[in-house]
A = this chain, B = another copy of it.
Amino acid sequence: MKIAVCRKSHFNSAHRLYNPNWDDQKNEVVFGKCNNPNYHGHNYQMEVWVKGEIDPDTGMVIDLKILKDIIKREIEDRFDHKNLNLDTEEFKTLIPTAENICLVIWKILRDRIEPQLELKVRLFETDRNVVECGSSF
């Protein structure tokens, strides 16, 4: 039987939602207050779920200390206390909606987690808005 394990983490970032192919009016209609040119920000809460078989020697699916280090190095160091639009390569041309941030995080982690393990990422932009991508479990 496969078991899913989760490690929670968070980062605090500024961002702006803006599509350069649209004029200001359309950006205002679609993105509303999130289009503020001086940016606003969030405490992003993140859940990284990994699913696989239990290793009988350790009783673990994945060593959570190792997962914690991967998340620290690959996600927190990259996005925490950053302006997503200005300070990161990933959102230079990609709109930093919660959906796109979640997908980017999933892709980064997918390359760092062993392929036989399933991976799911859940991102809370606020307490009320949540996004999830990756394997369905």
On A, residues with C-beta under 8 Å from B are 1-10, 12-15, 17, 19, 21-22, 30, 32-34, 36, 38-43, 47, 49, 54, 57-61, 63-65, 80-83, 86-87, 94-100, 102-103, 126-134, 136-137
A130 to B7, CA, bound (A): 7
Number of copies: 6
Q: Which 7 A-B pairs have the closest CB atoms?
A: A41-B41, A59-B97, A38-B83, A59-B95, A33-B81, A6-B130, A14-B14
Main secondary structure of the interface of A (DSSP, over half): mixed
13 A-B pairs whose Cβ atoms sit less than 8 Å apart in the complex:
A4-B131, A4-B133, A6-B129, A6-B132, A7-B129, A14-B41, A19-B57, A19-B58, A38-B83, A43-B43, A59-B94, A59-B97, A60-B99
